[in-house]
Amino acid sequence: MSGRWRATGPARPWPAAGAALLLAGTAQVLPAGTWLPGPRCALFPALAGLGRPDHVALTFDDGPDPRTTPRFLDALDGLAVRATFFVLGERLAHHWDLGREIVRRGHELAVHGWTHDRPWRPSPLRESRRLSLAAHLVAQAYGDAPLWYRPPYGILTGDRLAAARTAGLRPVLWSAWGRDWTSRATARSVLDLLLRDLRGGGTALLHDTDREGAPGCWRAALGALPGLVAVCREAGLAVGPLGEHEVTRGHRRGARLIGGGPSGPADPRAR
């Protein structure tokens, strides 16, 4: 595993997520995906994936998908960029070789859950069992214990937070997205939306599959990648995985926007 970005030693504590846990204690469902990006970044910077100001974390959710993930791996190779892939345990079990290929190409594997479902009713044992199973499978593919957990739809509950703590995972969401899961998404729209909220220290959310989105929407995310990386590099920002992002370390409030413009409301349909 030499030459990889991966931090050694025990996982860092997650104070912001701890605060979220307290919040979740008063409300079973914490619909993090519906928060305004600004307040989420200000109140829970670690949960929003804010890190060192000279770096942007690139993350992909919902894979692995043999129809689409290899295209993203090739594009990332062409751009000389490494990223973090939040995979589903069930999909990783079905596409084990592809999960291993993501790792072989130098990317970080993280946990998106076992399946892509919503927590309709409290079920702490079920949440814990399934998340631990997913984390165990990801660890086998990754060759090391994963650090990160991003729940489907960005919905955190007390059960999910407790399950993450049991599995040794740090919850992390995002600070900018491109709404690449919609039928109307284009490479241009995805890039414009990302750049609206993205700044140094931010975490970008994309998807390497359309399994949870509109058919074919992955093309918009894939098409946005070259522009995203170019704009970041022109702004003097490196692009890489969360493992190199130093989440909550070195973030300066008020870091410059990359693309300019105001922050808009979050979309509860986040995948």
Name the residues that contact Zn ion, by CB under 5 A: 61-62, 152, 271
- Picking from 193, 195, 267, the residue whose alpha carbon sits closest to that of residue 32 is 267
User: Which lies closer to Zn ion via its Cβ, residue 152 or residue 171?
Assistant: 152
Q: Give the whole-angstrom CA distance, residue 110 versus residue 87.
A: 6
User: Which lies closer to Zn ion via its Cβ, residue 32 or residue 257?
Assistant: 32
Smallest distance from the beta carbon of 45 to Zn ion, in angstroms? 22
User: Which lies closer to Zn ion via its Cβ, residue 76 or residue 205?
Assistant: 205
User: Which lies closer to Zn ion via its Cβ, residue 104 or residue 183?
Assistant: 183
Smallest distance from the beta carbon of 239 to Zn ion, in angstroms? 21
Smallest distance from the beta carbon of 99 to Zn ion, in angstroms? 16
Sign for the CA dihedral angle at 61, 150, 47, 136 comes to negative
C-beta atoms surrounding 215 within 10 Å: 8
User: Which lies closer to Zn ion via its Cβ, residue 245 or residue 271?
Assistant: 271
Smallest distance from the beta carbon of 80 to Zn ion, in angstroms? 26
C-alpha torsion angle, residues 68, 69, 75, 79 (rounded to 10): 160
User: Which lies closer to Zn ion via its Cβ, residue 87 or residue 257?
Assistant: 87
Give the list of residues 6+ apart from residue 167 with CB closer than 8 angstroms, or none: 111, 128, 131, 132, 135, 149
List C-alpha distances in Å: 179 to 104, 174, 217.
28, 12, 10
- Looking at the chain, the number of H-run helices and the number of E-run strands are 9, 10
Give the list of residues 6+ apart from residue 223 with CB closer than 8 angstroms, or none: 186, 187, 190
Smallest distance from the beta carbon of 162 to Zn ion, in angstroms? 20
Smallest distance from the beta carbon of 270 to Zn ion, in angstroms? 8
Smallest distance from the beta carbon of 37 to Zn ion, in angstroms? 17
Q: What DSSP string runs through 90-110? A: HHHHHTHHHHHHHHHTTPEEE
User: Which lies closer to Zn ion via its Cβ, residue 222 or residue 231?
Assistant: 222
- Picking from 1, 70, 2, 25, the residue whose alpha carbon sits closest to that of residue 162 is 25
